[in-house]
Copies of this chain bind each other. A is one copy, B any other.
Amino acid sequence: MLISIMHDHLSSTFAALADPTRRAILARLASGETSVAELAKPFKISPPAVTKHLKVLERAGLITRGRHAQWRPCKLEAVPLKEASDWIEQYRRHWEQRLDRLEEYLRHLQSKEPSHGRGNKGE
């Protein structure tokens, strides 16, 4: 089995999400479309730096921008996130098993711990 190493949608989506500013921009856009100036406000970075992040998000299909010359509002496009979610979901069984084992281990440790006077019997 040969796996081709092509640039693909899923890689673009994950790469776009691999930055806290870009994730914060998506979070802001989840509450409605807005301008670049408005998006730049909570960040310690310039509007041109925000524009760079927007380009990464736009290439990944995670946002679209309006076509008005002066005000080009940004809008969240969540559909590529479905593909990312679907990919991650196939590992759910693995992390749930892992967390179950951790929980079991912690319960085992607690049952072995010397009691500190809360509901302890016979010591």
Contact = CB atoms under 8 A, between A and B. Distances in A.
A97 to B, nearest CB: 8
A94 B33 CA distance: 13
Nearest to A80: B95
B30 A8 contact: no
Contacts of A5: 20-21, 43-45
Contacts of A3: 20-21, 24, 42-43
**Interface majority SS (helix, strand, loop, mixed), chain A:** helix
Interface string A24-55: 10110010000000000011110000000000
Interface residues of A, number: 44
B85 A89 contact: yes
Interface of A: 1-6, 8, 10-12, 14-15, 17-21, 23-24, 26-27, 30, 42-45, 76-79, 81-82, 84-85, 87-92, 94-95, 98-99
The 6 A-B pairs of least Cβ separation, nearest first, read A78-B94, A14-B18, A15-B18, A78-B95, A14-B17, A82-B95
8 contacts: A3-B21, A5-B20, A23-B87, A26-B91, A78-B91, A78-B98, A79-B99, A82-B99
